[in-house]
Amino acid sequence: MTSAIVSANVDGTYPVAGQDNSSQGFRDNFTAIKNNFTTAASEITTLQNYKAPTNATADFNGNVITRTVFKDTAETVYPQAVATNTDGAITINYENGHYHIYQITRDTTFTFLNWPATGTAGRIILDLDIIGDGSSADPTLTFPSAIIKASNVTGNDGTSDVINPGLRRVLYEFLTPNGGITVLMHQLGHHYI
């Protein structure tokens, strides 16, 4: 941000020593100084309001940050403790974080909300602990039809929105470049329980 303070408006040679000086020169200098203080106060307030604090949460309001190097960063895990699915429906809200953990005990339908806007990539990892009795009635997972399932998704024939992963701990990753209109799903891995 370029400062709008105009220091050239202040006459540093006024008043001239040893002569009678017009009071208008004093008034002009005081007015210029006052205007520069007002401008400085406004600029300082703007900097304070829009700075990235190091001691608090910052919201960049969707603005682009460029030429940045990240080191020692983390992603939010949601929920903070494993949530058990009790009603057969789970809504994954992108704004809650990038890593979601759930314990699945029954057939479950997933929906996704608040993907980032088209032209930006959104990514969510879904960590599921699927619990059942080892029968054919083990929990199935139903995902929206906008989700394109990769061939490595266990328990999926490539065409159905329903997945039967069996009893296991499974990690899925979801990626979208267009606000969730289309989402690529692939399996990062699994572990039999």
In a domain, 35, yes or no: yes
Q: Token pair 């005990």 is at which residue?
A: 105
Whether 180 is in a domain gets the answer yes
Chain segment 34-80, per-residue pLDDT in tens: 999 999 999 999 888 888 888 888 888 888 888 989 899 898 899 86
- Same-domain status, 168 and 102: yes
Q: 108-117, 149-158, 184-193: which range is least confident on average?
A: 149-158
* Final residue in a domain of this structure, among 34, 66, 98: 66
The answer on 106 and 42 residing in a single domain is: no
Give the strand order in the sheet containing 141-142: 89-93, 108-113, 141-142, 162-163
Q: Which domain holds residue 58?
A: 1-66
Among residues 13, 40, 66, the one where a domain terminates is 66
Shared-domain flag, residues 40 and 1? yes
Q: Does the residue 94 lie in any domain?
A: yes
Same domain, 1 and 48: yes
72 within some domain: no
71 occurs within a structural domain? no
Question: Is-above-0.85 flag for pTM?
Answer: no
* Dist. CA 56–CA 119, nearest whole Å: 29
Claim to verify: residue 47 and residue 94 sit in the same structural domain: no
pLDDT grade for 134, boundaries at 50, 70 and 90: low
Give the count of domains, the chain: 2
Q: Are residues 188 and 98 in the same domain?
A: yes
